[in-house]
Structure 1
Amino acid sequence: MILNHLMGLYTRPKQEWHAIEEGHESISKSLSHIMVMALIPAICSYIAAAHIGWNPGFGEPKFLTPQSAMFMSVGMYVGLIAGVFVLAYLVYWMSKTFDAKPSYTQALELAAYTATPLFMVGVAVLIPVLWFIMVIGLIGLSYSVYLLYTGVPILMNIPEEKGFIYASSVVTAGLVLLVALMTSSIILWSIGFGPAYQ
């Protein structure tokens, strides 16, 4: 099943990481998980941008044209999937520094399940009020970081002390990746791929 570890990661994360470590999934199952979960923020963003409207905190809600909202949602979907793959590569690449010997599939599992709370908080954009989305996003980010810190020692088979430093390195790399994605979005907007409002 694509989402077989989802409930366990929320109710008993450490035990679920051990279950993931004992029965590694194939790369196609990890990919299926990523592709399904990344649909949540993409679809919700389309609905909010084209049909509900964004409320920046003052004035009337702003709507994107359906074509522009679709373009932005597809771009978000592709960007989220690519981001998870890049994060998995960084986890795999950094493993040599911490004497871990994961396969790329293990690194992809770690990245996929760690990103899951961030994908799920995409539902919050259906209430497109900026402060609300930021609070819910912060909660999702915090839980993703928690999952990362609990999952790294278990999936990478290293002591918790090394796992903490390893996870901190991954968080730093993830923040750099996030800044790179935001910068690329700004560049694309400035060369004509920005949103079109109704």
Structure 2
Amino acid sequence: MTIKTMSEIFYHPSIAMKHIRDEKLKDSNEALITLALLALIPPVSLLIGTTQIGWSLSLSGDAVRLSFASALLSATAFYIALCISLLVVGVAIHWMEHTYGGEASLERCMNLTLYTATPLLVAGLAGLYPTLWFCVVAGMVGLIYSTYLLFTGVPVIMRIPEERGFLFCMSILTVGLVTLVTLRALTVFLWNSLIPLIYLG
């Protein structure tokens, strides 16, 4: 896994996926560490944005800042949930691959998760300016490109025909959607009970 390959997913994804498929892997630790580091981007950005700039629902609306302690607890919980979600998706890809004729190792599946999730995680930088419309637009752009990378990468990395690759991608997206909905529900529960948000006047 190299910085060159990481950057290639933004300007030449088809070549990047071939590099991911052909690179020699010893274990999944490197992918897991990189995922853990990239997963810091959204919570840390939101921590900074909500405490220094403030959360706003519109451009003209008044920004409301969170107390640092409240934002830190929320960011920590968000980070842990994000890491678990990415791990679940990676394991699910490995578990489902044989159904579609794939032959990738768990390490390769974690790398696929890493590279396809990168645009979505990088979009978390929008949290530095936590205005609702800006975060939604950035999140949608990241999600669309991550989905494109998934459909581009699965047939190449799993070495399966494009028809099966399409069905496999739909299954992965279903797992991702369920995981995302669960994450959102858990976040709301935590905000309303264990980690209530404390706003500054």
> Shorter-chain TM-score: what band?
over 0.9
Letter in 1 for 2:20: I
Q: Deviations over 1:87-145 (max 9, x none)?
A: 01111111121121221111111111111001101111222211111111100000000
With 74-83 and 10-19 compared, the bigger mean Cα shift is at 74-83
With 95-104 and 5-14 compared, the bigger mean Cα shift is at 95-104
Shift, 1:157, TM fit: 1.1
Aligned to 1:100: 102
> How far apart are the structure 1 equivalents of 2:104 and 2:4?
21
Equivalent pair of 1:24/1:106 in contact (CA under 8 Å) = no
> How far apart are the structure 1 equivalents of 2:132 and 2:188?
19
Aligned to 1:7: 7
Aligned to 1:23: 23
Aligned to 1:132: 134
With 101-110 and 50-59 compared, the bigger mean Cα shift is at 50-59
Partner of residue 124 from structure 2, selected from 115, 122, 125: 122
Within 5 Å, give how 1:141-152 maps onto structure 2: 141-152=143-154
Letter in 2 for 1:41: P
Aligned to 1:34: 35
Structure 1's unaligned 5+ residue stretches are none
Partner of residue 63 from structure 2, selected from 43, 55, 61: 61
Equivalent pair of 2:191/2:197 in contact (CA under 8 Å) = yes
Shift, 1:33, TM fit: 1.2
With 92-101 and 1-10 compared, the bigger mean Cα shift is at 1-10
> How far apart are the structure 2 equivalents of 1:77 and 1:2?
24
Equivalent pair of 2:51/2:66 in contact (CA under 8 Å) = yes
Q: Secondary structure, in 3 states, of the residue corresponding to 1:44?
A: helix
TM-score, reference length from structure 1:
0.94
Shift, 1:32, TM fit: 1.9
> How far apart are the structure 2 equivalents of 1:2 and 1:44?
24
> How far apart are the structure 2 equivalents of 1:175 and 1:123?
21
Within 5 Å, give how 1:72-91 maps onto structure 2: 72-91=74-93
Shift, 1:197, TM fit: 1.2
Shift, 1:60, TM fit: 1.9
TM-score, reference length from structure 2:
0.93
> How far apart are the structure 2 equivalents of 1:127 and 1:158?
41
**Distance change in 2, residues 1:195/1:45 (3 Å):** same
With 124-133 and 148-157 compared, the bigger mean Cα shift is at 124-133
Shift, 1:183, TM fit: 1.1
Identity of aligned residues (%): 34
4+ aligned runs moved over 4 Å, structure 1:
none
Letter in 2 for 1:53: G
Q: Deviations over 1:45-78 (max 9, x none)?
A: 1100111101112642111110111111111211
Structure 2's unaligned 5+ residue stretches are none
Shift, 1:162, TM fit: 0.6
Cα-Cα RMSD: 1.4
